[in-house]
């Protein structure tokens, strides 16, 4: 076999020539290297004894167009278990035979319907000084890498006191990161060099190497009841992001911050999505590595658009007539759902929740309904509360909901990623599936791949979304840049309930154009897409824009990033069947010109393009029509903080 050093250019190879190097003559030289099927991602495993640190670590390099970039020069490995440590002085036992993971699956909703879980995998076997065993499972994907720990023994219950996984990132690497907060509702900040702050950070985190040749996004996936959620912390060393457990005070101090495990056990996957910026945005890697669906029949799971009364009237669901107006909106706009948000249990002014459900169903629309997650883990007293807390509570409530015709539930205010809360999330999903109820979470965890395992999980909040126009004046000026960061960060890893596409104002105003707002319906992916404006905001739109929103899908067959840079601008095309929808926005306070190429279209087919772009000012939309094909391109002008939306249908 060919032995490539980590500084050599690595040629593209197939699995038959997978690079596995093991020099057992010297402990200092022990190393394993694994390449992705296309040869672009290279994961190296090294023993650090030569550098005075006896721990094992990974490196991740990216090879493209004759150039190799050491994107992540070091990932420290190890766990501290309640009975012993698995980090330093680990003895390498053997490397398993490399295997090709090659799995195709279909997603019910998300950025792509036909997905591939394809990677080269190797398992490395280690033993600590006490002869206890630990395995490291490594995968190299065409669009990234993943690794996890495994305790293979069959007996034993322990606590994990600390995870020692830590990513060393060169200070000159540009990064976009969100300060840790339990609801995952902050802003992303761009930084590098001496501007890098030392603190705790949310997932996911985006990085661009200093030579701009490689982008990567750090996250975790396939989190289950056997662990807690983690976050990134560089509080000790600016250049080293160590995985840390939830804070003791999260969830009002309820639950243990350290997870308990029973052997045999596997950790969640530690995931890095890697490649070009287009590769990152299009990746389904977080779902790919996660467990397959436990729901056999998914025909009842129906993605769709939702009318939502909270943004325009924080007490809208308390008023029966308001609920009816939003049901009428959904029916008129051909949206399948409307949401009854908080205070539905005190509805008045002509009807109660049972009356509302009957009215909504009479319009050919299905109702969704909100719940406070309840319990001592949340300080929020909003009702109805505590109806999700136990299996018995849920069965009783879900039985009532099915009789009334409800299609799904929204559960809010979790405020913790401790192990007990992870169990609570999954218990809700499993019980809801027994009643054919769709679920979405608010005040919650960032996606961890659960939508593959439980496809009735339609979306999560875990984002500073349009609701924040109600919470203070800062979102008005921050939103344009924020909107141009989310497609490269938070929304990459799973559905995002931003509640977009608003043309009127809430408590604090917009400075984004109507073209910008219309584009968000395409740019932001969510299996249940809540369009948040009041009815007159949609009724007053030009015919083309209103028609666009009537046709807009909430689940996609393909996704392509056409252009963009975090915080500056972004253009994404998404396909449903043989039609494409395109959204593009400008974050900056100056006009921009953008050229859109249609080379993603099927060659030899002509399409009708309907383009809805900024007009002469930010409250005006301009619509144009033309025939395009895969050789076509168009020039666009985007207003400051502007945008556009388009749909492209094949000509019959």
| 437-456 residue pLDDT tens | 999 999 999 999 999 999 99
Specify whether 157 is located in the same domain as 208: yes
The reply to whether 278 and 343 lie within a common domain is no
**pLDDT value for 53:** 59
Output the pLDDT for position 48. 81
What's the rounded Cα separation, in Å, for the pair 496 and 522? 12
374 in a structural domain? yes
In this structure, how many other beta carbons lie within 10 angstroms of the beta carbon of residue 69? 17
- Give yes or no for residue 26 having a pLDDT over 90: no
Distances (CA, A) of 246 to 350, 427, 460: 46, 20, 19
Task: Give me the residue label for tokens 């409307």.
Answer: 338
Six-digit token string for 261: 């495990």
Are 283 and 380 in the same domain?
no
Element (H, E) at 325: helix 320-332
Residue range(s) defining the domain that contains residue 353: 304-548
> Does residue 629 fall inside a structural domain?
no
CATH number of 493's domain: 3.20.20.70
In this predicted structure, the answer to whether residue 17 has a pLDDT above a threshold of 90 is: no
pLDDT at 8 exceeding the cut of 80: no
* pLDDT for residue 288: 98
pLDDT (tens digit per residue) in 210-221: 999 999 999 999
* Burial (CB count within 10 angstroms: exposed 0-12, middle 13-18, buried 19+), residue 629: middle
Same domain, 395 and 281: no
Q: Are residues 243 and 385 in the same domain?
A: no
- Give the residue among 458, 114, 130, 70 at the shortest CA–CA distance from 295: 458
Write the DSSP symbol of residue 334.
T
312 in the same domain as 275? no
Confidence band, pLDDT 50/70/90 cuts, at residue 13: very low
Spell out the residues 6+ positions from residue 307 whose beta carbon is closer than 8 angstroms to its own: 326, 327, 329, 330, 333, 335, 337, 338, 339, 530, 531, 535
Question: Does 51 have pLDDT greater than 80?
Answer: no
Which range (27-36, 203-212, 435-444) has the least confidence? 27-36
C-beta of residue 101 within 8 angstroms of C-beta of residue 139: yes
Report the sign of the C-alpha dihedral through residues 427, 432, 438, 439, in that order.
negative
CA-closest candidate to residue 259, choices 226, 231, 232: 226
pLDDT-derived band at 35 (thresholds 50, 70, 90) equals very high
Shared domain check, 254 and 387: no
- Answer for the pair 229, 242: CB distance below 8 angstroms, yes or no: no
Q: Is residue 227 part of a domain?
A: yes
608 within domain boundaries: no
Q: Could you please report the per-residue DSSP string of 14-43?
A: -GGG------TT-GGG-EEEEE-TTS-EEE
Higher confidence at residue 428 or residue 21? 428
Residue 604 in any domain: the answer is no
Task: For residues 31 and 70, state if they share a domain.
Answer: yes
Q: Please name the residues in contact with 114: beta carbons below 8 A apart, sequence gap of 6 or more.
A: 104, 106, 107, 557
Domain shared by 273 and 352, yes or no: no
How confident is the model at residue 50, as a pLDDT? Answer: 58
Is residue 585 included in any domain, yes or no?
no
State which H helix or E strand residue 639 sits in.
none
At 224-246, the pLDDT tens digits run 999 999 999 999 999 999 999 99
Element of type H or E holding 187: none
> How far apart are the C-alpha atoms of 374 and 411, rounded to whole Å?
9
Q: End of a domain among 529, 548, 567?
A: 548
Same domain, yes or no: 256 and 283: yes
Indicate the pLDDT class of residue 88, thresholds 50, 70 and 90.
Answer: confident
**Helix, strand, or coil (residue 491):** helix
Q: Is 295 inside any structural domain?
A: no
Q: Which of 264, 288, 312 is the last residue of a domain?
A: 288
Residue 30 lies in a domain: yes
3-state SS class at 61: strand
Residue 542 and residue 411 share a domain: yes
Phi-psi region at 641: left, alpha or beta (left = phi > 0; alpha = psi -120 to 50) = left
Q: What is the pLDDT of residues 285-338, one digit of tens each?
A: 999 999 999 999 999 999 999 999 999 999 999 999 999 999 999 999 999 999
From 514, 548, 582, the end of a domain falls on: 548
Closest CA to 502 of 472, 473, 476, 526: 476
Residue 220, H or E segment = strand 215-221
Kindly state the percentage of the chain with pLDDT values over 90: 93
The per-residue pLDDT for 1 is 26
Cross-strand bridge partners of residue 147? 138, 270
Report helix, strand or coil for 179.
strand
pLDDT digits (tens, 9 = 90+) for 349-406: 999 999 999 999 999 999 999 999 999 999 999 999 999 999 999 999 999 999 999 9
Rg over alpha carbons for the chain, rounded to the nearest Å, is 25
Kindly state whether residues 281 and 357 are assigned to the same domain: no
pLDDT band at 25 (very low <50, low <70, confident <90, very high): very low
Query: How confident is the model at residue 30, as a pLDDT?
Result: 54
Between 31 and 474, where is the model more confident?
474
Q: Is the pLDDT of residue 530 over 60?
A: yes
CA proximity to 264, closest of 132, 142, 68? 132
Place of tokens 């799995």: 103
Strand runs labelled E in 67-172:
67-76, 79-81, 85-86, 91-95, 99-106, 114-127, 133-141, 144-151, 157-163, 166-168
Predicted model pTM:
0.95
Instruction: Centre a 10 Å sphere on the Cβ of residue 595 and count the other Cβ atoms it contains.
Output: 11
What CA–CA distance (Å, rounded) separates 59 from 36?
A: 14
For residue 186, pLDDT beyond 50? yes
Total domains present in the chain = 2
- CATH code, 228: 2.70.98.10
> CA angle, corner 63, sides to 98 and 41, nearest 5?
35
The pLDDT assigned to 442 comes to 98
Can you state the angle between helices 474-483 and 514-523, rounded to 10 degrees? Answer: 50
Positions of E strands within 391-524: 408-412, 438-441, 457-460
**Could you say which DSSP state residue 540 is in?**
T
The confidence band for 98, taking pLDDT boundaries of 50, 70 and 90, is very high
Q: Report the share of the chain in percent with pLDDT over 70.
A: 94
Structure tokens that stand for 87 in this block? 């980090």
């Amino acid at each position: 076999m060919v032995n490539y050093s980590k500084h050599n250019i690595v040629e593209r190879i197939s699995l038959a020539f997978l690079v596995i190097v093991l020099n057992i003559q010297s402990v200092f030289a022990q190393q394993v290297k694994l390449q992705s099927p296309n040869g672009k991602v290279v994961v190296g495993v090294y023993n650090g004894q030569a550098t005075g640190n006896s721990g094992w670590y990974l490196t991740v390099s990216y090879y493209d167009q004759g150039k190799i970039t050491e994107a992540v020069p070091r990932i420290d490995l190890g766990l501290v278990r309640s009975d012993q440590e698995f980090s330093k002085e680990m003895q390498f036992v053997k490397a398993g035979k490399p295997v090709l993971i090659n799995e195709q699956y279909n997603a019910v909703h998300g950025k792509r319907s036909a997905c591939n879980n394809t990677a080269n995998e190797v398992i490395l076997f280690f033993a600590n000084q006490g002869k206890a065993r630990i395995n490291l499972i490594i995968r190299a994907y065409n669009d990234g890498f993943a690794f996890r720990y495994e305790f293979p023994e069959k007996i034993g219950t322990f606590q994990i006191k600390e995870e020692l996984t830590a990513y060393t990132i060169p200070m000159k690497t540009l990064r976009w990161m969100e300060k840790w907060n339990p609801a995952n509702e902050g802003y992303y900040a761009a930084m590098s060099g001496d501007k890098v702050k030392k603190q705790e950070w949310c997932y996911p985190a985006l990085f661009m190497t200093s030579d701009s040749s490689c982008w990567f996004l750090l996250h975790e996936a396939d989190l289950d009841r056997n662990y807690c959620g983690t976050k990134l912390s560089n509080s000790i060393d600016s250049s080293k992001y160590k995985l840390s457990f939830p804070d003791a005070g999260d969830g009002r101090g309820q639950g243990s911050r350290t997870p308990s495990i029973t052997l045999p056990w596997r950790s969640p996957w530690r995931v890095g999505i890697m490649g070009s910026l287009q590769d990152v945005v299009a990746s389904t890697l977080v779902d790919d590595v996660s467990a397959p669906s436990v729901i056999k029949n998914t025909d009842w799971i129906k993605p769709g658009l939702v009318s939502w009364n909270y943004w325009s009237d924080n007490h809208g669901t308390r008023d029966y007539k308001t609920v009816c107006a939003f049901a009428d909106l959904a029916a008129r706009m051909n949206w399948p759902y409307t949401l009854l948000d908080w205070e539905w249990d005190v509805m008045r002014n002509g009807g109660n929740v049972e009356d509302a459900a009957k009215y909504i169903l009479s319009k050919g629309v299905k109702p969704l309904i909100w719940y406070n997650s309840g319990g001592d883990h949340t300080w929020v007293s909003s009702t109805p509360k505590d109806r999700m807390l136990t299996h018995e509570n849920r069965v009783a409530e879900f039985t009532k909901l099915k009789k009334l015709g409800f299609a799904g539930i929204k559960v809010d205010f979790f405020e913790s990623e401790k192990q007990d809360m992870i169990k609570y999330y999954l218990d809700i999903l499993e019980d809801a599936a027994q009643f054919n109820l769709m679920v979405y979470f608010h005040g919650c965890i960032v996606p961890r791949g659960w939508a593959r395992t439980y496809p009735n999980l339609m979306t999560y909040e875990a984002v500073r979304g349009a609701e924040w126009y109600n919470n203070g004046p800062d979102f008005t000026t921050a939103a344009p840049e924020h909107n141009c960061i989310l497609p490269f960060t938070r929304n990459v890893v799973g559905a995002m309930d931003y509640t977009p596409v608003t043309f009127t104002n809430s408590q604090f105003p917009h400075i984004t154009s109507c073209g910008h707002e219309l584009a968000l319906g395409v740019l932001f992916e969510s299996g249940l897409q809540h369009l948040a404006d009041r009815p007159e905001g949609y009724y007053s739109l030009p015919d083309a824009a209103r028609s666009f929103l009537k046709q807009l899908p909430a689940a996609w067959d393909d996704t392509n990033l056409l252009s963009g840079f975090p915080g500056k601008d972004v253009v994404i095309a998404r396909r449903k069947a043989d039609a494409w929808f395109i959204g593009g926005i400008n974050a900056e306070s100056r006009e921009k010109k953008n050229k859109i190429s249609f080379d993603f279209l099927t060659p030899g087919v002509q399409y009708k393009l309907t383009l809805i772009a900024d007009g002469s000012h930010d409250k005006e939309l301009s619509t144009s029509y033309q025939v395009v094909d895969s050789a076509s391109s168009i020039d666009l002008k985007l207003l400051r903080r502007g945008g556009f939306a388009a749909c492209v249908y094949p000509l019959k």
